């Protein structure tokens, strides 16, 4: 049965553009209790589980990031060209074709081989600060770890991580409010990323291999009409762009949840087999991607609400997955609980392509961190990105008892 | 080869439909339908679909 929704003007209003807005605020919870959607300065916010689940796969919605450069007055240059052509911004046939070509490189079998490398990387980073009993968890762990994982994936030596992290950070400026002003920096960064990608491709053409880049090069060599030389490079750049900040932020958010729930950290240290479930529970309660963006390709009615062509919808995965109406104890952080699936990797056609990698590397990281850092607590206030959109910590001064 | 989908964990992402459109598709109500028994010609695509399924809901036999 579809419930009849209130007319749009009566729906709760959320001032998402206010820098102080928090997606975990009481205002959002109240709105969720009142209505499945809210009005925002950007469009419609979808707040409940079933609606988010259904709209993530709705055939009349497309991924909504394709107009981002244009909205910011950026229509030419390497970044805008890459953005508009890469997987996330494609739909239908082209999206399917690119995804089919990329799938083998992201296969769970390929990722399983990287697991020992993830462990070695995590241990190596923890070794550098463990004895001190303190660290900046972001600068000393999550950032080099997230970037190191991408180095492992691409077959680059770990020593490249700083350079890659800096390039990724400059690229990340493209997602911020100062996109246009930062354009020269962003263009320089993406030019360097493409240079990296070209080098990697040239290497695998000369020395074919079955690793991540090797699989993409193979797809390109065997099916030029399905994955062009340019699309191959675009995909490698996307993996670097899409994989670093997300992972860095998500592991920082995991630590935040465990600092708030010390009993769960102690439990994880005792039972490392829970690390996989812990990743899921973190992403349910504290995802870095708090919403995904969709746009209506034509006017349609959903749950009694008419959604006009061109409307932007933000699907609030975090709000939906912590709704007490669909989950008992939804706000409690419990790594042993059976939960409904979360939306931290999105869903539908654009479901995160790197999720096997991300799940694998975060599982190994949490396991080792819990066994080596006892009783973690904040040594000074954490510096946060805004608590909406893609969120996370910028600085996280952490004190702990070395194991 | 026999194709099973564990519908208790399938979340209808449709990644299988993208990977192997001749085997998996959505019906008009958005439900997942698939060819239960496939020939050798579709093996590679179907294996790719099983690999790509985010929930790992696809089980192949034979
Ligand atoms: C914790 C880490 C990560 C999180 C939280 C995350 C989250 C997401 C989300 C929510 C989407 C969907 C966006 C949308 O529908 O609008 C997405 C897509 C994507 N992610 Fe991730 N991601 C992570 C790690 C990675 C990694 C490590 C890679 C690559 C190595 C990656 C590559 C991609 C790609 C290529 C897409 C686009 C898929 C498509 O459009 O078909 N991600 N990610
Ligand atoms: S890819 Fe997996 S989860 Fe998605 S529809 Fe196919 S079987 Fe279901």
Q: What is the CATH number of the domain that holds A228?
A: 1.10.630.10
Q: Is residue A315 part of a domain?
A: no
In the predicted model, what is the mean pLDDT of residues A70-80? 93
Query: Is B52 close to A107, i.e. CB distance below 8 A?
Result: yes
CB distance A336 to A277 below 8 Å = yes
pLDDT tens, residue by residue, A231-284: 999 999 999 999 999 999 999 999 999 999 999 999 999 999 999 999 999 999
How many angstroms separate the alpha carbon of residue B57 from the centre of ligand 2? 6
Does A4 fall in a domain? no
Measured between beta carbons, the chain A residues lying within 8 angstroms of B32 are: none
Contact A66 CB / ligand 1 (< 6 Å): no
B19 touches chain A (CB under 8 A): yes
Which residues contact residue A348 at a Cβ distance below 8 angstroms, ignoring those fewer than 6 apart? Answer: A56, A57, B12, B13, B14
CB contact under 8 A, B18 and A355: no
Answer whether residue A239 is part of any domain: yes
Instruction: Please give the backbone phi and psi of residue A309, each rounded to the nearest 5 degrees, phi first.
Output: -50, 135
Residue A312 within a domain: no
- Between A and B, how many CB-CB pairs are < 8 A? 44
- Residues 6+ away with beta carbon under 8 Å from A94: none
The domains of chain B are located at 2-61
- Please give the Cα distance from A8 to A253 (Å, whole number): 34
Q: Tell me, yes or no, whether A234 lies in a domain.
A: yes
> What pLDDT shows up at residue B57?
98
pLDDT at B62: 87
Cite the DSSP H helix spans in B1-62: 15-19, 43-52
Express each pLDDT in A350-384 by its tens digit. Answer: 999 999 999 999 999 999 999 999 999 999 999 99
The interface predicted TM-score of the complex, written ipTM, equals: 0.95
From the CA of B57, how many Å to the nearest CA of chain A?
A: 13
> Is the model's pLDDT at A218 over the cut of 90?
yes
Residue A63 included in any domain: no
pLDDT digits (tens, 9 = 90+) for A28-37: 999 999 999 9
Please identify among residues 34-53 of chain B the ones whose CB lies closer than 8 Å to any CB of chain A.
48, 51-52
User: Residue A177: its pLDDT value, please?
Assistant: 79
Strands A373-378 and A383-384 turn out to be: unpaired
Please list the residues that pair with B58 across neighbouring strands: B5
Tens digits of residue pLDDT in B15-44: 999 999 999 999 998 999 999 999 999 999
Position A7 confidence tier, pLDDT thresholds 50, 70, 90: low
Per-residue pLDDT at A312 exceeds 50: yes
Eight-state DSSP code of residue A176: S
Q: Which residues, in sequence order, are CB contacts of A182 under 8 Å at separation 6+?
A: A170, A173, A174, A176
- pLDDT score for A9: 77
Global pTM reads 0.96
Check if A344 has its Cβ closer than 6 Å to any atom of ligand 1.
yes
pLDDT of residue A1 exceeding 60: no
Please give the average per-residue pLDDT across A118-126, as a whole number.
97
Please give the pLDDT value at position A5: 52
Q: Above 80 in pLDDT, residue A64? A: yes
Nearest ligand to the CA atom of B4: 2
Mutate to test the pocket of ligand 1, among A246, A317, A389 (most ligand atoms within 8 A of CB): A246
Answer with the residue of higher pLDDT: A344 or A6.
A344
Q: How many helices (H) and strands (E) does chain A have?
A: 16, 12
The tens digit of pLDDT for each residue in A154-188 reads 999 999 999 999 999 999 899 887 899 999 999 99
pLDDT score, position A2: 44
Closest-lying ligand 2 atom to the alpha carbon of residue B12: 5
Domain assignment of residue A148, given as a range: 74-290+330-402
Report the top-level CATH class of B2-61: alpha beta
Looking at residue A217, its pLDDT comes to 97
Give the bridge partners for A46, in sequence order. A37, A315
Whether A242 is covered by a domain: the verdict is yes
* Average pLDDT along chain A: 95
- In total, chain A counts a number of residues equal to 403
Predicted pLDDT of residue A176: 83
Residue A152 forms part of a structural domain: yes
CB contact under 8 A, B11 and A341: yes
Q: Could you read off the pLDDT of A143-160 as tens digits, one per residue?
A: 999 999 999 999 999 999
**Would the pLDDT of A3 be above 70?**
no
**Cα dihedral sign for B6, B10, B14, B19?**
negative
Q: What is the number of structural domains in chain A?
A: 1
| Nearest ligand 1 atom to alpha carbon A63 | 16
As for ligand 2, residues whose beta carbon falls within 6 Å of it are B 5, 10-16, 24, 32, 53, 55, 57-58
Residues A313-337 pLDDT 10s: 999 999 999 999 999 899 999 999 9
């Amino acid at each position: 049965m579809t419930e009849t929704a209130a007319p749009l003007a009566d729906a709760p209003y959320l001032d998402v553009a206010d820098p102080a807005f928090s997606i975990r605020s009481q205002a959002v919870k109240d709105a969720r209790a009142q209505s499945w959607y809210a009005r925002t300065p950007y469009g419609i916010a979808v707040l409940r589980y079933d609606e988010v689940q259904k709209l993530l796969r709705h055939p009349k919605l497309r991924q909504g990031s394709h107009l981002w450069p244009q909205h910011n007055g950026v229509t030419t240059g390497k970044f805008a060209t890459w953005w508009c052509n890469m997987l996330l911004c494609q739909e239908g046939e082209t999206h399917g074709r690119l995804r089919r070509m990329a799938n083998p490189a992201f296969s769970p079998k390929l990722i399983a081989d990287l697991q020992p490398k993830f462990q070695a990387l995590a241990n190596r980073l923890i070794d550098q600060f463990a004895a001190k009993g303190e660290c900046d968890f972001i600068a000393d762990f999550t950032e080099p770890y997230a970037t190191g994982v991408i180095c492992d994936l691409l077959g680059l030596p770990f020593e490249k991580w700083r350079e890659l992290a800096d390039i990724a950070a400059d690229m990340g400026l493209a997602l911020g409010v100062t996109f246009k002003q930062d354009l020269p920096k962003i263009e320089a960064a993406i030019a360097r990323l493409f240079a990296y990608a070209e080098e990697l491709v040239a290497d695998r053409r000369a020395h074919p291999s079955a690793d991540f880049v090797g699989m993409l090069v193979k797809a390109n060599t065997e099916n030029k009409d399905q994955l062009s030389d340019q699309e191959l490079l675009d995909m490698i750049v996307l993996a670097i762009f899409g994989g670093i900040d997300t992972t860095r932020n998500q592991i920082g958010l995991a630590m935040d949840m465990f600092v708030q729930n010390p009993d769960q950290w102690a439990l994880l240290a005792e039972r490392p087999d829970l690390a996989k479930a812990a990743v899921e529970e973190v992403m349910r309660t504290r995802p870095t991607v708090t919403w995904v963006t969709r746009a209506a390709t034509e006017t349609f009615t959903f749950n009694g609400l008419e959604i006009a062509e061109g409307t932007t919808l933000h699907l609030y995965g975090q709000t939906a997955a912590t709704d007490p109406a669909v989950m008992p104890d939804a706000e409690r952080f419990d790594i042993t609980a059976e939960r409904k699936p979360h939306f931290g990797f999105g869903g539908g056609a654009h479901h995160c392509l790197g999720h096997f990698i991300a799940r694998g590397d975060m599982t190994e990281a949490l396991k080792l961190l819990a066994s080596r850092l006892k009783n973690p607590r904040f040594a000074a206030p954490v510096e946060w990105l805004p608590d909406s959109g893609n969120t996370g910590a910028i600085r996280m001064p952490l004190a702990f008892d070395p194991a | 080869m026999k194709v099973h989908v564990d519908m208790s964990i399938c979340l209808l992402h449709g990644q299988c439909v993208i990977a192997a459109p001749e085997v998996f598709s959505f019906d008009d109500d958005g439900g997942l339908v698939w060819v239960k028994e496939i020939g050798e010609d579709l093996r590679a695509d179907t294996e790719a679909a099983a690999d790509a399924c985010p929930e790992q809901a696809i089980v192949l036999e034979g």
